[in-house]
Structure 1
């Protein structure tokens, strides 16, 4: 035994151990990201009750995270290539640790909002640096297995994040969600420091600052205007100014990206019809899946009065299919065209949304409520394109442009989630306002807006305190009718996305390297759009 213990470890074994440590660190960080998203939604009612935040401050708890995440993801990828993937990953995880600790000790809802935005920036750096580092440490089948494990870890976070958040809130209060995040981030930081290898792209041109600032500014201004509109009124100068500024910045972004030598976003990729179809997939899954990860916990906890644990258990019905169905979809894609599978999944999700709308208002029977079956169908349908769209994002463009395509896709995915959350929240507020009885003199317009905003943020008690003339029964009835209408509209949008995705992605599938003939281009090795 002593001889074996003193024998030096072979060089290859040492390298493999280091790479496994690096993979473990990235997977730990990936586990945190969906928990940061869904855990914040579950904790929102408790944060609002403890810190007495306004309705707008409560809505920004999730939107600030998603906005910063989506707006900074592509810039973080460029920084990782230029300054080092390990360095950006460790910087992201370290900031995730610090912001999570600061969130646990926050004493105002406004501070929580700003820290959640910083947490989103940290998440972007973590994902960009960690994902890029795996591509340098693994190749061939090992790389496929590494990314498969990364996706599975992300799915575990989605599936059990709400339940874990609920358990932590019941045991430690809302601070427990962020304290637990800090502990896991610290573990990922220590392991990543030891196990990851530094790498960078020697040909990297650095960050496209004009493009980054204009894109992030447009996204932030649009989201701000949409979220502020229900509280201030759609015609308020602040709202109109924010939306107009978003349009100006969006136009400037397109002009900048068309002129710079090394753009952050290569707009010519949108000449590929199949590439456009792939970009619709995260938009569709945002409509039918991501928004429900936020709206349903607020409904269960804030409007129905369920405990955080009960809400977390119910949410597993929505996310549990993410652990199995993506793998099944990748196996089916060997025999069935990916476009057919993706559009079929979206049709199933749309049917689940319509079914869920029919269960709104049905009597609850504890954890096993009537909504569980349609939630399972929505989760299973959403998981089919979820398991395929990452691979499709790089397979529908020429091979030499795959990296840019992946960056655009990830940005579209996260940015669309943040924008969709803001839009759906605004629509739900408008629908509730239309359902409530008009009581001139009893409920002033500004008071009514604040009450409805609080209701959507999961604060039934705050809504009743602002507008006692309506009463709990009227508020709950208006919410349920509006929620059912919203689900029907989301089902229609998802179904339309399924039709467009099928039209864009129909045709031959490929099993090997990118074939530009499938993109509607001449079948040549150097084809350009």
Structure 2
């Protein structure tokens, strides 16, 4: 593999001659496809209380509405990136969109929680295919600063979905029903499919030699086992035989994957890339927003609806304060790369985000909604800086023809990190709540205390009060507020450490679109 990606930066034959308008329509197809992902991520979080009333289920089962999507999305991204390079970006994009569309339509008529979770898993796998193929297709269409601007629109697209998704979801849940959320994602998928079918040109890596099936199988299985172990641990305990066995399987399969990739002629993951600091830095950057921003997309709606009692629409309006900056800041970040390195901008954004998390920790439940708006805006402003630059960085640190692989690696790191972060942060919050409840509830059965803590961490104040009636709603809210306060300080500390790491790996002044791959030894 060449060290300088510019040596392989010539446009592929399939994209040669693509006019400006056609390129913009391809960008529109990818943006419409990606718009369905944040809407599909935040919407079920707002609708979860309504889904629980409709289909039933305990807190663990309801968590899988989000976890099933995240697990399959994150586990499939690496394979999707390799398939996009080897078998065609347009082909995989259209297949992913079609399956996502069908799964979304099926979710509108489901009447069983288990079936809903399975369809969410199918959505995740299909979304991974469309996501990786779409980013790889854009990398073939745009170069230089045009690529930076195009990928900054990806961040803006996510911002639109994240900003308006909770509000629109709340309106749909309260006026039509939670099924309408999935109908909305189906409409977006259908439009994206039509644009992609008409305007996207086929492209692939001319050096691809087919999918590395042994590597793909071992990697996907290892990642699935790891994610499932983290998701299961809060329910079973880290010392349970199931969790220990899953973690042991993860280690064994990871070792097997490394062995396979070091011997493969055309590996799914080129392990030599990890010699380059910028490539390593991009992967570390991918996981940073999980603890500073993504977990809030789930935890805050649960708090607003279940603890604050604002309703779905009220929660949606409040989430706009958090996600609104993404409507403009990613484009601003792309412009700022003319004067500052992407690493400096990303690290500075993470520090601003950490400050916002500390400010948010000072707003306990029950305060006026206006008190929460400033810290949410600070968090949204800070995280929008790296959010608009990450995807362009991901595909710029490898040769252009391997853009699908780069998108797959980066997206796998990001989404797998988000899935693990959701499970870990949820467990931390439930643990903090349990500790607080233990001090106010008096002698109580440990299993009952744990169940009450889980329900309260999920924002189900009514069920937590029914499980632990001796505590009373006021003490339950106080315990939740203290736990949330402590959790935000933990998230702020993780974010500061992430910022320091990003400064160390990515702060060199290298243009986003034309990086220099410098081995770590140098």
Give the corresponding residue for 1:525: none
| Structure-2 separation of matches of 1:393 and 1:383 | 16
State how many pairs are aligned. 507
1:242 alignment partner, one of 239, 242, 246: 246
Partner of 2:305: 301
Is 1:97 aligned to 2:98, yes or no? Answer: no
What's the TM-score once normalised by structure 1's chain length?
0.88
Structure of higher RCO (CA pairs closer than 8 Å, 6+ residues apart): 2
1:165 shift after superposition: 1.2
C-alpha separation between the residues in 1 aligned to 2:186 and 2:192? Answer: 10
Asked if structure 1 preserves the Cα contact closer than 8 Å seen for 2:80 and 2:128, the reply is yes
The structure with the larger Rg is 1
Alignment counterpart, residue 337 of structure 1, candidates 336, 341, 349: 341
Which structure 2 residues correspond to residues 41-60 of structure 1 after superposition, within 5 A?
A: 41-60=45-64
Question: Secondary structure of the residue that 1:415 maps to in structure 2?
Answer: helix
1:433 offset after TM fit, Å? 1.2
CA 1:405–1:306 in 2, change beyond 3 Å: closer, same or farther?
A: same
Distance in structure 1 (CA, Å) of the matches to 2:477 and 2:200: 52
Q: Show the counterpart of 2:66.
A: 62
2:193 paired residue among 189, 194, 199: 189
Q: Is the contact between residue 32 and residue 184 of structure 1 (CA under 8 Å) also seen in structure 2? A: yes
- 1:364 counterpart residue number: 367
In 1, distance between residues paired with 2:400 and 2:436?
Answer: 52
Q: State how far apart, in whole Å, the 1-side matches of 2:517 and 2:496 are.
A: 28
Say if 1:53 and 1:108, in contact at 8 Å, map to a contact too. no
Indicate if the aligned counterparts of 2:156 and 2:331 stay in contact, CA closer than 8 A: no
1:27 corresponds to 2:31: yes
CA distance in 1 between counterparts of 2:359 and 2:267 reads 44
Q: 1:225, 1:239 within 8 Å by CA — same for their partners in 2?
A: yes
Cα 1:440–1:239 change in 2 (3 A) is farther
Contact 2:226 2:247 in 1 (8 A): yes
Aligned equivalents of 1:131 and 1:328: distance in 2?
20
Q: Does residue 229 in structure 1 map to residue 233 in structure 2?
A: yes
Whole-angstrom CA distance in 1 between matches of 2:18 and 2:392: 31
Give the structure 1 partner of residue 5 of structure 2: none
Q: Which aligned pairs between 1:265-414 and structure 2 lie closer than 5 A? A: 265-361=269-365, 363-365=366-368, 368-396=369-397, 404-414=405-415
Instruction: For residues 47-84 of structure 1, give each alpha carbon's deviation from its aligned partner in whole angstroms, at most 9, with x where no partner exists.
Output: 12221111111111112211211111121122122222
2:3 aligned partner: none
Contact 1:398 1:515 in 2 (8 A): no
Decide which moves more: 443-452 or 413-422.
Answer: 443-452
Separation in 1, partners of 2:253, 2:501:
28
Unmatched 5+ stretches in structure 2:
1-15
- Cα distance 1:160–1:460, how it changes in 2: closer, same or farther (>3 A)? same
CA deviation vs aligned residue, 1:322-351 (integer Å, no higher than 9, x gap)? 122222222222222333222211111111
Please give the alpha-carbon distance, in whole angstroms, between the structure 2 residues aligned to 1:192 and 1:507: 37
Over 3 Å counting, the alpha-carbon distance change for 1:337 and 1:133 in structure 2 is closer
Summarize the Cα distance change of 1:411–1:185 in structure 2 as closer, same or farther, 3 Å threshold.
Answer: same
Q: In structure 2, what is the equivalent of residue 4 of structure 1?
A: none
Partner of 2:515: 514
TM-superposed deviation, 1:441: 9.7
Partner secondary structure for residue 369 of structure 1 = helix
Which structure 2 residues correspond to residues 78-157 of structure 1 after superposition, within 5 A? 78-137=82-141, 146-157=150-161
Q: Which residue of 2 aligns with 1:214?
A: 218
Shift of 1:372: 1.2
Q: Distance in 2 between matches of 1:326 and 1:261?
A: 38
Cα-Cα RMSD: 2.7
Contact 1:46-1:174 at 8 Å conserved across structures: yes
The one of 180, 195, 207 aligned to 1:176: 180
Deviation at 1:88, TM superposition (A): 1.3
CA distance in 1 between counterparts of 2:388 and 2:25 reads: 25
Distance in structure 2 (CA, Å) of the matches to 1:138 and 1:275: 20
Q: Partner of 1:526 in structure 2?
A: none
TM-score by length of 2: 0.89
**Deviation (angstroms), 1:157:** 1.3
| Deviations 1:236-295, CA, capped at 9 Å, x for gaps | 222222222222222222222222222222222122223222222122111111111111
Separation in structure 2 between the aligned mates of residue 390 and residue 17 of structure 1, nearest angstrom = 22
Equivalence for 1:8 = none
Task: Deviation per CA, 1:3-27: give whole Å up to 9, x if none.
Answer: xxxxxxxxx9997666554443322
Distance 1:486 1:265 in 2: 35
Q: Secondary structure at the match of 2:267?
A: coil
Q: 1:203, CA displacement in angstroms?
A: 2.6
> SS state of the match for residue 361, structure 2?
helix
Alpha carbons of structure 1 residues 400 and 286: separation in structure 2 relative to 1, 3 Å: same
- What SS does the corresponding residue of 2:370 show, helix, strand or coil? coil
Contact 1:347 1:494 in 2 (8 A): yes
Match of 1:76 in 2: 80
Native 8 Å contact 1:64 1:117 kept in 2: yes
Note closer, same or farther for the CA distance 1:25–1:275 as it changes in structure 2 (3 Å cut).
Answer: closer
Does structure 2 retain, via aligned residues, the 8 Å contact 1:42–1:297?
Answer: yes
